[in-house]
Structure 1
Amino acid sequence: MPKSNDTPKIKCGFSAYFSELKDPRRIMKGNHLYPLEELLFLSIAAVVSGADSWTSISYFGRTKLDWLRKWYPFENGTPSHDVLGKVFAALDPDAFNRCFVCWVDSIAQLTSGEVVSIDGKALCGSGDKTNGKSALHVVSAFATANGLCLGQVAVDAKSNEITAIPELLELLAIKGCIVTIDAMGCQKSIARAVRDKGADYLLMVKGNQKELKDQVEKLFSVAPVKAAFSSNDLGHGRIEHRKCEVIDQLRFLDGKEHWLDLKTVIRITSQRTIKQTGKGNTETRYYISSLGPDAKLINSAIRSHWAVENNLHWSLDVVFKEDTSLKKKDHSALNYNVIAKMALTLIDQEKSTKKSKPSKRLIAALDDDYRAKILKI
């Protein structure tokens, strides 16, 4: 039976940033018993609490209906998994992402010099070999100090990340930040896009820019090193010695004028030894940057880049089971990716306990008050 709407409702903090999102059912036939705002709140509350499919989100809704009605009317109860699947398959993912970016921007506190790592990840479950549909790639920007995904852009192939990165940068407020990108993003247009946003770039140079890489390697044999910094890491069962060397005299670097505000080239030499076996290896990597010759800062920024893999992509795969998800229909996978990133952000922002992300999700499933704390309501 429909619930009376006499009791005032208190909406969650993120609702204002999604209020302008257009309901795709406006152009679909039939009666719509569940407002889009309620579907968003249900889905995010459920995913925070451990749900990872439309079926489990629907089950959460049925079992937690009384709790949900503290915040929204849910006059017609909660929807089936079919309703959830159809709505999120039809929802405009670009509009949903823009709302997400605005919401994150409201809670992020980016400081000058913060590292923003940009990297792509395949949504493995979004592919459909039967219908010849490749898995989607999502390029994300991750603020490493804040531990926040700032936004994302989806492409239908990894090679298209080059065009997606400037689109992503256009969405972000990153003035004063350091943007790190792997070799795929070492492009003149991307360097310019970063500088146009008032940020500095730090780009890995590999074989896709062979002429540039050869020149950078040669430069280290003919130009003096302006600054150097060494560090040691004794964790993860290995000993790693890293040396960061920076050159700022670039007169022998052909074509440097095509890279906007290029100031330095960098060489990172990593010597790793496995403690148990004593076996080791040495790896050398090269970068270009608009940063000045501060070797300690550059070394720290390069190390911070991998937070996008360890803290964002790993969490989405292992904690939220994104790679095993089978959300193939239309925009379903992309929109669930946004929901999962919202849930991850909210979980990371909850600092009253130092428990792991899976533990926080379990507590949220069992404890209504803790779930409300995570959702900031």
Structure 2
Amino acid sequence: MTEPCPVLLELLAEIPDFRQAQGRRHPLPAILALSVAAMLCGYRSYGAIAEWGRNYGTAMLRALGFTHDTAPCAATLNTVLRGLDIEAVERVLAGWAEGVVAATAAPPTALEAIAIDGKTLRGSRRQKAPGAHLLSALGHRLGLTVGQQAVADKTNEIGAIGDMLGALMLENRVITLDALLTQHDVAQTIVDGGGDYVMIVKGNQPTLQEDIAALFAAPEMVAETLESGATLSIGHGRIEHRKITTSTALCGYSNWSGLAQVFAIERAVTRKSSGEQRAEIVYGVTSLSRERASAAQVLELVRAHWHIENKSHWVRDVTYDQDRSQVRVGSIPQVMAAIRNTAIGLMRVAGETNIAAACRRFAAQPWSALALIGITPRTE
């Protein structure tokens, strides 16, 4: 480790309490610690979080920082969570995640990458809740959410990306993005911030897409600029071949900010049960020079970006049933998503790969969950 790993419990005290001192029964850091601990044990909603507080007894409540022997009820949790300053919540939790990333630095030769992607909270969206679409920044290496911002809907991601990039530490990082966010000013902002990008190029950038497609349609013309790599994976009932070809031929000819390489990825998937085959070609651009990223490394960065759904979205949807959640008052949808992100991040840092199994184990051994937050375990 390059520096001490931050303790989440200590940072929760930095989130401001909007409540008047008179009549404030439960300390805010204790309520937030309770929420994270319950999420670690697989309790999904603020009603379930209240149940967790009742189920595990006084000793647990005292350890979390409560000054009374009774846990907050669901109505209290609702009132507190919906009134929080969501920007402060996101800032503190992102600061914790950034601290963990810094404390568990990648090997010197590795590229520290952040995937930016959007996620609609479908249940809250059906209830027309504000903050029902979230733009998230997720670290490839640890799976930690280092930034999250609410937007009106997916089409508003382009307008929100500037603020998110402004809040992120870009220097010496690679930002990976889907085609929707492949924009000139986004590339410029990343490069100006000392970072690099890997972007997928589709029809929203027609000229760039056509130039890349034309280049790879006649590879013999630029053979000396080409490099390739390939992977093969077998699992989940399918065989997937991936081949990437990169080229430096457009450097100096394209006005795309920082462009160092363009690439084409050919994906061929065969379903073992039926023999059905599917193939596609995906184009992209990166500011990473060939000296910094080989064709194989660029392919791995793209694949890791695609896996964001496995590391964050899928876990939140399946393990925490996020898509069916219909909480919709104030900042609650975004606050609950931020708490889920943090719980998942704590488990990832602890080396957990099966989040559902980890939740069940923590439910049976709750002091282990508190240890992740920064509370010394006790013998029950």
Q: Secondary structure in 1 aligned to 2:324?
A: coil
Q: Does 1:13 align with 2:7?
A: yes
What secondary structure, in the 3-state scheme, does the structure 1 residue paired with 2:243 have?
A: strand
Asked if the contact 1:228–1:244 (Cα under 8 Å) also holds between the matched residues in 2, the reply is yes
Distance in structure 1 (CA, Å) of the matches to 2:81 and 2:366: 26
- Higher mean Cα deviation, 91-100 or 158-167? 158-167
Partner of 1:156: 152
Q: Given that residues 131 and 331 in structure 2 are in contact (C-alpha distance below 8 angstroms), is that contact kept between their aligned partners in structure 1?
A: no
The residue identity in structure 2 corresponding to 1:206 is K
For residues 190-239 of structure 1, what are the alpha-carbon distances to aligned partners after superposition, in whole Å with 9 as ceiling and x for unaligned? 11122123221010011111222112211223551421112222222222
Q: Is contact 2:13-2:28 (8 Å) kept? A: no
- Cα distance, 1:361–1:251 mapped onto 2, change above 3 Å: closer
Per the alignment, in what secondary structure is the counterpart of residue 70 of structure 1?
A: helix
1:264 to 250, 261, 266: 261
Structure 1 residue 36: Cα displacement: 0.9
Shift of 1:310: 1.0
Q: Distance in 1 between matches of 2:131 and 2:272?
A: 39
Using the TM superposition, give the Cα deviation of residue 71 of structure 1 relative to its aligned residue in structure 2, in angstroms: 4.1
Aligned to 2:93: 100
Q: Of residues 119, 141, 148 in structure 1, which corresponds to 2:117?
A: 119
**Structure 1 residue aligned with 2:33, among 36, 41, 44?**
41
Q: Deviations over 1:137-156 (max 9, x none)?
A: 11111111122111111101
Q: Distance in 2 between matches of 1:355 and 1:208?
A: 36
Give the Cα–Cα distance (whole angstroms) in 1 for the partners of residues 84 and 130 of structure 2. Answer: 20
Q: Over residues 74-117 of structure 1, what are the superposed CA-to-partner deviations in whole Å (9 max), with x where a residue is unaligned?
A: 32632110110111111111111000111111111343512211
Q: How far has the Cα of 1:360 moved from its partner?
A: 1.4
Deviates more, 1:107-116 or 1:337-346: 107-116
The aligned counterpart of 1:356 is: 354
- 2:378 corresponding residue in structure 1: none
**Does 2:335 correspond to 1:339?**
no
* SS state at 1:94 partner: helix
Cα separation, 2, equivalents of 1:142 and 1:314: 13
Q: How far apart are the structure 1 equivalents of 2:39 and 2:142?
A: 21
Q: Is structure 2 residue 169 aligned with structure 1 residue 173?
A: yes
Aligned residues of 1:101 and 1:172 also touching (Cα < 8 A): no
Equivalent residue runs for 1:101-250 within 5 Å = 101-108=94-101, 109-111=104-106, 112-129=110-127, 133=129, 136-222=132-218, 223-225=221-223, 226-250=226-250
- Residue correspondences, number: 357
Q: How many percent of aligned residue pairs carry the same amino acid?
A: 29
Unaligned ranges ≥5, structure 2? 1-5, 376-380
Residues 110 and 146 in structure 1, CA contact (< 8 A), matched pair in contact too: no
TM-score, length of structure 2 as denominator length: 0.88
Distance 2:311 2:11 in 1: 25
What amino acid does structure 1 have at the position aligned with 2:14? E
Alpha-carbon contact 1:34-1:76 (below 8 Å) kept: no
1:312-366: CA deviations, max 9, x gaps? 1001111111111111111110001111111111122223xx6721121112112
Shift of 1:63: 2.1
Alignment of structure 1 residues 71-90 onto 2, 5 Å: 71-75=64-68, 77-90=70-83
Paired with 1:56 and 1:230, the residues of 2 have a C-alpha distance of: 46
SS in 1 for 2:330: coil
Q: Judging changes above 3 Å, is the alpha-carbon distance between structure 1 residues 110 and 190 closer, same or farther for their aligned structure 2 residues? A: farther
Q: Contact (CA 8 Å) 1:128, 1:134: kept in 2 or not?
A: no
SS at match of 1:25: coil
1-side partners of 2:248 and 2:85: how far apart? 46
Contact 1:174 1:197 in 2 (8 A): yes
Give the direction of change, closer, same or farther, for the CA distance of 1:369–1:86 in structure 2 (3 Å limit). closer
| Aligned pairs (5 A) from 1:315-334 | 315-334=315-334
Length-normalised TM-score, structure 1: 0.89
1:31 maps to which residue?
23
2:280 aligned with 1:283, yes or no?
yes
2:149 maps to a residue whose letter is V
Unaligned 5+ runs, structure 1: 1-11
Q: Is contact 1:229–1:243 with CA below 8 Å preserved after alignment?
A: yes
